[in-house]
């Protein structure tokens, strides 16, 4: 079992930056790939980025376009999402999720989810 807790969300002006954190419990966290997703009101949950156990990263190029960077710190059981050049359309609840054997864009394939953190970008 893995428990995930996101933090770092908040209100930021367009063009600003935020770093989201995903804190994981459990000594086996290193055995999980982690993905970041977001969901805006009335929209589908959207894949943003994922990082594997071997620190291979993938991104949703259409949404991220070089603005977001995913990373992980095994010593702290943390995964981060650095978000730069934020836009009002980035406003959403951001979630991290973990899977032992999947690191793609299908949210149904992730086994564990955090409660989410709100990001609001003002224009």
28-70: pLDDT as tens digits: 889 999 999 999 999 999 999 999 999 999 999 888 879 999 9
The answer on pLDDT for 10 being more than 80 is yes
List, in sequence order, every beta strand (DSSP E) within 1-123.
4-7, 10-13, 18-24, 33-39, 46-51, 57-59, 68-73, 78-83, 92-99, 112-113, 117-122
User: How high is the pLDDT of residue 11?
Assistant: 98
Residue percentage of the chain with pLDDT more than 90? 90
Read off φ and ψ for residue 73, nearest 5 degrees.
-125, 105
User: How high is the pLDDT of residue 95?
Assistant: 98
Which band of pLDDT confidence, cut at 50, 70 and 90, is reported for residue 24?
A: very high
Which band of pLDDT confidence, cut at 50, 70 and 90, is reported for residue 21?
A: very high
């Amino acid at each position: 079992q893995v428990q995930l807790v996101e933090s770092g969300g908040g209100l930021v002006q367009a063009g600003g930056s935020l770093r989201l954190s995903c804190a994981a419990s459990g000594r086996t966290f290193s055995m999980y790939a982690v993905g970041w997703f977001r969901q805006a009101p009335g929209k589908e949950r959207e894949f943003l980025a994922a990082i594997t156990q071997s620190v291979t990263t993938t991104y949703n190029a259409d949404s991220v376009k070089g603005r977001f960077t995913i990373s992980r710190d095994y010593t702290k059981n943390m995964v981060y999402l650095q978000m730069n050049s934020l836009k009002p359309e980035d406003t959403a609840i951001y979630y991290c999720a973990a899977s032992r054997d999947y690191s793609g864009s299908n949210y149904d394939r992730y086994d564990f989810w955090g409660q989410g953190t709100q990001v609001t970008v003002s224009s």
